[in-house]
Amino acid sequence: MKKHNSRAGAVSRRTFMKSSVGAALASSLAAPAVRAQGSAPIRIGNINTYTGGLAYAGQANLDAMNLYFDSINWTVAGRKIELIKEDDQFNPQIGLQKAKKLVESDNVDLIIGIQASNVALAVLNYMKQQKAFYIVSGAGTDAITWDRYPYLFRTSISTFQLSGPMADYIYDHLGKEIVTTASDYAGGHDVMNQFKGPYLAKGGKVLKEIWPPLGTTDFSAYLTDIKAINPPVTYDFMPGADAARFVQQYTEFGLKEKMPLTGFTMIDSQTVSAVGKSAIGVISALTYTDTVDNPESKEFAKNFKAKYKYAPDLFADYGYVGAQALAEALKMTGGDASNKDKLAEAMSKVSFKAPRGPFRMDPATHNPIQNIYIAQVIESGDGISTKILSTAKDVQDPGKKVY
């Protein structure tokens, strides 16, 4: 993430909607799955958060997804791709409504997206009822990996994968005792449970767990508590705008110099652009930052910044890799998206060089095997950048509860 500045202007994107001809054709068929493979487009339903505090993550995911589909001319195995976008508004019930619309009214071949873990889990239950194909290109809750629904794949990350390397790094380099702070919702509890397990197993001690509600604007009471406890280090997780406010106020309280602020995906374009140099020193576990040094990362960052005028972060990489993984699987099926068993078999075999590094799908868990980076925000000239402190290679989720 090199020299982040404020995000400029509205972001352009390409959204494909059903044509009236396609709608008439779909409604005239008794069995939608038998529509002609050679001529019909592959319809992909996209659900993510496009309003509210997590909107930037959903938009970055979509922007990068569109960037990848642009690179293949929105065509795979001779079939055009249509992307139908819906906003879950960070609300599980709305996400569920949008999933029903996409599956039952828009007759999509599959759904991809969803950053919020609570929304992803609500939609998962519906997709299982419908026996529908579902790719999570965002949410990290381990419950998704543990589910083992055969038509469910994740192309982003599990909390287990980030938490183990981070627990090791903190214990070995920063402190044997810690205070944790996380937003009080499904994602926050999952992150902290997965961190505590390996940290305690190494001999670490959690002095206190703090749970601010989602949407907290004033963290002063919680920060006062942390200051009084005076731990050697803290581990923190908040989504979206909550993270920016927490980092800013943590710095203003003068805590960062006394106790390093570490966290779960706490470094992203929105947080850094919102707090500026207040982010310097923050250490976070990530799948991607645009300082990852490989040809795919450099090309992705260059093309993304040229098109959207802001630097890609891990959420953008989530979307790009999700689109690429799907396209690679569809190549294997010859563009057949209706045979779910065939598509699932292909997705299980996906492997390629991604911006984040080597990516391959675990056929047992349907979760990626990939590198995890421990990165720190640093000052760079008149701006800021990130420095990768440590890399854990080929990290794999066990697919079951360990701690």
Tell me what pLDDT residue 6 has: 39
Name the amino acid, one letter, at 313: D
Tell me what pLDDT residue 269 has: 72
Q: Hey, what domains does the chain have and what are their CATH numbers?
A: 20-157+293-366 (3.40.50.2300), 160-286+372-395 (3.40.50.2300)
pLDDT digits (tens, 9 = 90+) for 112-125: 999 999 999 999 99
pLDDT digits (tens, 9 = 90+) for 161-171: 999 999 999 99
Single out the residue of 72, 137, 74, 132 nearest to residue 106, CA to CA.
132
pLDDT digits (tens, 9 = 90+) for 78-88: 999 999 999 99
Q: Which residue has the higher pLDDT, 272 or 90?
A: 90
Altogether, the residues listed in the chain come to a count of: 403
- CB–CB of 64/317 below 8 Å? yes
Name the amino acid, one letter, at 214: L
Q: How far is CA 45 from the centre of its chain?
A: 17
- CB–CB of 222/181 below 8 Å? yes
Single out the residue of 157, 193, 170 nearest to residue 396, CA to CA.
157
pLDDT digits (tens, 9 = 90+) for 261-279: 999 988 777 777 778 888 8
Average per-residue pLDDT in the chain? 90
Q: pTM of the full predicted structure?
A: 0.86
Q: Which residue has the higher pLDDT, 379 or 234?
A: 234
pLDDT digits (tens, 9 = 90+) for 35-79: 444 579 999 999 999 998 889 999 999 999 999 999 999 999 999
DSSP code, position 152: E
Q: Which residue has the higher pLDDT, 19 or 155?
A: 155
Residue percentage of the chain with pLDDT more than 70 = 91
Helix/strand/coil for 176:
coil
Alpha-carbon gap, residue 151 to 207, rounded angstroms: 41
Tell me what pLDDT residue 38 has: 56
Name the amino acid, one letter, at 283: I
Residues 6+ apart with CB under 8 A from 203: 171, 176
